[in-house]
């Protein structure tokens, strides 16, 4: 072997050794970063699961309270343009409007969950946030039903079946053995969210 060939071989070996040394440092570092990322994502998913599930339970209770059929005291008397109504109509419309008043009183609970939704969707996927939409849809249905019941022209009445339909949305018609349609939908959404979050929470 010539001296030049020997020198090249030494340089090659030196280059290989340097590459191995770099790899020996880089590979564990990469694996460490990857492990840290997985741990960070896991902790964030755990935090989100706790926050979203707790907020969902709160809204489930809020919706139950909003739909409680009874009205108390002066609930609903802040309703605009009520002074021109006959007293019987005024009382009925106040009872309807009390649903909106209760929703407004707990609007922060909806805002809190609404703020978390995009991040929850990013970590858990589009389908995971579908149960959350049920809660917001229920709120919108209650608002729309109240508006339909109150905003009638003088001397006009809703058909009885339509009035009963709207009242079944704003008032809980459940029995001890049979939840009504709205309550079933909310309970199902909560169960679906529990199925998503519980496996994450049990890894805690």
**Two tokens, residue 107:** 């609007």
- pTM equals 0.77
- Residue 175 has phi, psi (to 5 degrees) of -110, 165
Asked if residue 34 has pLDDT above 60, the reply is no
CA distance 201 to 32: 24
Residue with tokens 């030494």: 10
Task: Give the C-alpha separation, 43 to 34, whole Å.
Answer: 14
CA angle 53, 55, 56 (to 5 degrees): 60
Question: For residue 71, what is the enclosing H or E element?
Answer: none
Q: Give the span between the Cα atoms of 44 and 42, in whole angstroms.
A: 5
- pLDDT confidence band for 74 (50 / 70 / 90): confident
What are the tens digits of pLDDT across the range 168-192?
999 999 998 999 999 999 999 999 9
* Cβ proximity of 59 and 136 under 8 Å: no
> In the chain, what percentage of residues exceed pLDDT 90?
60
The total number of residues written for the chain in this structure: 204
């Amino acid at each position: 072997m010539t001296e030049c060939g020997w020198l090249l071989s030494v340089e090659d070996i030196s280059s290989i050794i340097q590459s191995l040394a770099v790899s020996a440092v880089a590979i564990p570092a990469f694996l460490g970063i990857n492990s840290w990322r997985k741990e960070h994502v896991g902790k964030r998913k755990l935090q989100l699961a706790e926050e979203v599930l707790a907020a969902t339970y709160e809204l489930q209770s809020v919706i139950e309270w909003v739909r409680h059929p009874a009205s108390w005291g002066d609930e609903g008397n802040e309703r605009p343009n009520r002074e021109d109504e006959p007293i019987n109509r005024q009382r009925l419309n106040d009872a309807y409007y009390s649903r909106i008043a209760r929703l407004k009183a707990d609007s922060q609970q909806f805002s809190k969950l609404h703020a978390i939704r995009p991040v929850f969707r990013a970590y858990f996927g589009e389908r995971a946030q579908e149960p959350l939409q049920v809660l917001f849809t229920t709120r919108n249905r209650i608002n729309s039903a109240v508006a339909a019941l109150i905003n009638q022209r003088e001397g006009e009445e809703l058909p009885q079946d339509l009035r009963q339909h709207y009242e079944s949305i704003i008032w809980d018609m459940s029995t001890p053995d049979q939840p009504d349609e709205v309550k079933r939908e909310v309970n199902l959404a909560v169960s679906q969210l529990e199925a998503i979050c519980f496996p994450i929470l049990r890894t805690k």
